[in-house]
Amino acid sequence: MQIRQPIVAVLGHVDSGKTSLLDKIRGTGVQAREAGGITQHIGASFLPTETLKKVCGPLFAKMGGANQEIPGLLVIDTPGHEIFTNLRARGGSAADIAILVVDVNRGFQPQTNESLKILQSRKVPFVIALNKVDMVSGWKKNPTTKFITQSVKEQDPFVQTALDELLYNVVGTLSVLGYNSEAFYRVKDFLKEVAIVPVSARSGEGMPELLAVLVGLTQQYMQKKLEQAEKPTRGIVLEVKEEIGLGMTANIILIDGTLRKGDSILVAKRDSVIITKPKAILLPKPLDEMRDPRDKFRPVNEVDAAAGIKIASPDLEGVLPGSPVYATTDESKIEEFKKLIESEMKSVFIKTDTKGVILKCDTIGSLEALTEMLKKQNVTISMADIGPVTRRDVMEALAVKEHDRHLGVIIAFNVKVLQDAQEEAESNHIKIFHDQVIYSLIDNYTNWVQDDTANAENAIFQELTPVAKFTFLKGYVFRKNNPAVFGVQVDAGVLKQKVSVMNKAGRKVGTIHQLQDNGKNVDVAKKGQEVAVSIQNVTVGRQISEEEVFYSFPPSPEAKLLLKTFSHKLSPEEFQVLREIIEIQRKVNPLYAY
């Protein structure tokens, strides 16, 4: 059997010590490089079998590594859950196994939960690295051993008890989430229990056991998945960027097969699949030769999976992170691979006539992860795409909101909201949920739906344009235009920022940009208050004049709602002003508020 090395992803909360753990894994390999070396790949560290043997010591053979040897481990070493969401592959993940890093003193934290949800949805087995054991109160460091089992035996009994309690906090959390777990030295069946390995990324204690458990699990349970006979050459794009001297490059994790320089490579852009031949396939040099970053890559003619590589080609601009890569020398296979990529892309992007939420993400991987999670919550999606939130997205959400206010929203992960989209959303009360943590984005949305449902009447009323009548005060012109700033007195109702304003003839004058009371910005001004207002694109003396009376200008559907559904929430005076607004508008538009 020809077996490739397993791809190991490392996940965890931002302060759990993920990066330190990766540094320690790499560092351990550097210390052992005379026994076989460690090669630093793009976004991944390759630990060959010889290095693993040296680090794990007698545990390597004990965990089954000596039977049918796996050719090392490829540890994905780009921190951040975003990269893991990009390690997507059809039907699951490009990662074969994962290390979930948990801070021993803090237990599960928001991003730990998010990481676990992604592992669950992608069906990736994992090991818990219970990090920072050297921070447990009373812990004595043992400079002579890196084996955690030995270190634990040498601790005072109260420290052993404290560690066990912290460990069982994690066991309890995992149990609630549906997993059986145990300290690795008490695990009876690695297929049925998640192994928890106490480690210290700082001292290196526990590293031999952590790597040995990974070797054992992949060795015993993943041979079929790792077997390379008859597998096409395929990979996943991690990121695409322009590099000095190389032009457009793509960092790729090669999952299966062998990539050769003469191969035709198929990759996905937003609306097409392109076929390119790499100008260069690049591997970084081993770690001890990486001191000069300008000299860290070496061109190769071929590379075997699994590997982190960089390819250079001018055609790569616009290639999507998280998208699949196929390569072949067989021209007859090109069409088959092209159809595979196209169908995969179609399954990720959603555009339907169904009434649902609008989803915008930064990469295919995060889009797919969020789509899966929303579907599990039974949330309908009308559009899922990558890129910033645009005004068009807001207009689509507005159309949905007319049918269902809880679906007429935009869920945006790690993308910008364009200025005109923000303004349109504010004026139409379209909610944009925006976050950089997937799980909190979903939670924020579902919590809002619950609260909004519980207070539906108030929530809808709060979004409607408030009824207001106000007078331009004589002698209070602070600025004639760009924007016009002038003093007003609120005669009735409530005046708010971002509200459209009309004159007595029913013509829209503009939108109130800001309200100020004694030089301070205020959101609202009530009856009797004198405040300064600013309105863009009008000039005092032309479109508006001193002593003129103005009204708030609710769109026709809102005026109808105020009149027929929410009249009980208006004071008699506000109701009278609403009647005036409707009467004025019906002279211009007879169907207003009908």
List the CATH number of the domain containing 551. Answer: 2.40.30.10
Pairing of strands 500-503, 508-517: antiparallel
Average of pLDDT values for 507-524?
A: 93
**Half-sphere exposure of residue 530, counting CA atoms within 13 Å on the CB side?**
7
Report the SS3 class of residue 101. strand
Alpha helices (runs of H) in 349-469, residue ranges in sequence order: 364-376, 391-401, 419-427, 438-454, 456-463
Higher pLDDT, 238 or 573: 573
Q: Does residue 164 carry a pLDDT above 70?
A: yes
* Co-location of 255 and 209 in the same domain: no
Provide CB contacts within 8 A for 221, sequence distance 6+.
125, 190, 191
Q: Is residue 383 part of a domain?
A: yes
Helix (H) or strand (E) holding 550: strand 549-552
Query: For residue 51, what pLDDT band results from cuts at 50, 70 and 90?
Result: confident
Which residue range is the domain that position 581 belongs to? 468-588
* Co-location of 263 and 384 in the same domain: no
Stretch among 34-38, 366-370, 507-511 having the lowest mean pLDDT:
34-38
Q: Is residue 12 part of a domain?
A: yes
Pick the last residue of a domain from 447, 462, 477.
Answer: 462
Average of pLDDT values for 471-488?
A: 95
* Co-location of 65 and 207 in the same domain: yes
Cα–Cα nearest to 396, from 424, 377, 368 = 424
Q: Is residue 1 part of a domain?
A: no
- Tens digit of pLDDT for each residue in 305-340? 888 888 999 899 999 888 899 999 888 899 999 999
Instruction: State how far the Cα of 224 lies from the Cα of 156, in Å rounded to an integer.
Output: 44
Residues 548 and 439 sit within 8 Å (Cβ to Cβ): no
* Co-location of 455 and 486 in the same domain: no
Stretch among 217-221, 252-256, 588-592 having the lowest mean pLDDT:
217-221
Higher pLDDT, 540 or 221: 540
pLDDT of residue 57: 85
Q: How buried is 385 (Cβ within 10 angstroms: 0-12 exposed, 13-18 middle, 19+ buried)?
A: middle
Query: For residue 117, what pLDDT band results from cuts at 50, 70 and 90?
Result: confident
Residue 390 dihedral angles phi and psi, to the nearest 5°: -110, 170
Instruction: State how far the Cα of 80 lies from the Cα of 77, in Å rounded to an integer.
Output: 9
| Residue 340 CA, distance from chain mean position | 25
Stretch among 153-157, 191-195, 433-437, 582-586 having the lowest mean pLDDT:
433-437
* Co-location of 86 and 190 in the same domain: yes
Instruction: State how far the Cα of 484 lies from the Cα of 329, in Å rounded to an integer.
Output: 68
Query: For residue 227, what pLDDT band results from cuts at 50, 70 and 90?
Result: confident
Q: Does residue 36 carry a pLDDT above 70?
A: no
pLDDT of residue 287: 46
Q: Name the percent of the chain in helix, strand, coil, to the closest 5.
A: 35, 30, 35
Q: What is the pTM of this model?
A: 0.71
* Co-location of 238 and 159 in the same domain: no
- The structure tokens 């490579």 sit at 265
pLDDT of residue 437: 77
Q: Where residue 46 sits, what CATH number does that domain have?
A: 3.40.50.300
Cα–Cα nearest to 56, from 28, 20, 15 = 28
Helix (H) or strand (E) holding 412: strand 410-413
Residues 519 and 441 sit within 8 Å (Cβ to Cβ): no
Higher pLDDT, 43 or 551: 551
- Tens digit of pLDDT for each residue in 260-319? 998 999 999 988 999 999 998 987 665 444 434 445 678 889 988 888 888 999 899 999
What is the number of other CB atoms lying within 10 angstroms of the CB of residue 272?
12
Provide CB contacts within 8 A for 485, sequence distance 6+.
477, 478, 479, 532, 533, 534
Provide CB contacts within 8 A for 465, sequence distance 6+.
499, 500, 552, 553, 554, 555, 558
394, two tokens: 């807001």
* Co-location of 180 and 299 in the same domain: no
Q: Does residue 19 carry a pLDDT above 80?
A: no
Q: Is residue 158 part of a domain?
A: yes
pLDDT of residue 290: 40
Instruction: State how far the Cα of 380 lies from the Cα of 377, in Å rounded to an integer.
Output: 9
Cα–Cα nearest to 342, from 326, 365, 366 = 326
Peptide bond into 48 cis (omega under 30): no
Stretch among 145-154, 236-245, 488-497, 574-583 having the lowest mean pLDDT:
236-245
Residues 365 and 274 sit within 8 Å (Cβ to Cβ): no
Q: Does residue 221 carry a pLDDT above 80?
A: no
* Co-location of 424 and 502 in the same domain: no
Q: Is residue 2 part of a domain?
A: no
pLDDT of residue 79: 53
* Co-location of 339 and 479 in the same domain: no
Number of domains in the chain: 4
Residue 81 annotated among the catalytic residues of the structure: yes
- Tens digit of pLDDT for each residue in 457-473? 888 888 899 999 999 99
Cα–Cα nearest to 443, from 416, 407, 411 = 411
Amino acid at 271: D
What is the number of other CB atoms lying within 10 angstroms of the CB of residue 86?
28
Q: Is residue 53 part of a domain?
A: yes
**Set 81, 406, 429, 434: catalytic member:** 81
* Co-location of 152 and 211 in the same domain: yes
Residues 78 and 84 sit within 8 Å (Cβ to Cβ): no
Q: How buried is 572 (Cβ within 10 angstroms: 0-12 exposed, 13-18 middle, 19+ buried)?
A: exposed
Cα–Cα nearest to 233, from 281, 304, 284 = 304
Q: Is residue 523 part of a domain?
A: yes
Q: Give me the torsion for CA of 357, 94, 227, 302, rounded to 10°.
A: 130
Pick the last residue of a domain from 462, 483, 512.
Answer: 462
Residues 97 and 217 sit within 8 Å (Cβ to Cβ): yes
Q: Is residue 308 part of a domain?
A: yes
- Counting residues of the chain whose pLDDT is more than 90, the rounded percentage is 50
Pick the last residue of a domain from 462, 487, 512.
Answer: 462
Residues 237 and 87 sit within 8 Å (Cβ to Cβ): no
* Co-location of 39 and 60 in the same domain: yes
* Co-location of 271 and 156 in the same domain: no
Instruction: State how far the Cα of 70 lies from the Cα of 327, in Å rounded to an integer.
Output: 24
pLDDT of residue 336: 92
Provide CB contacts within 8 A for 4, sequence distance 6+.
71, 226, 228, 256, 304, 305, 306
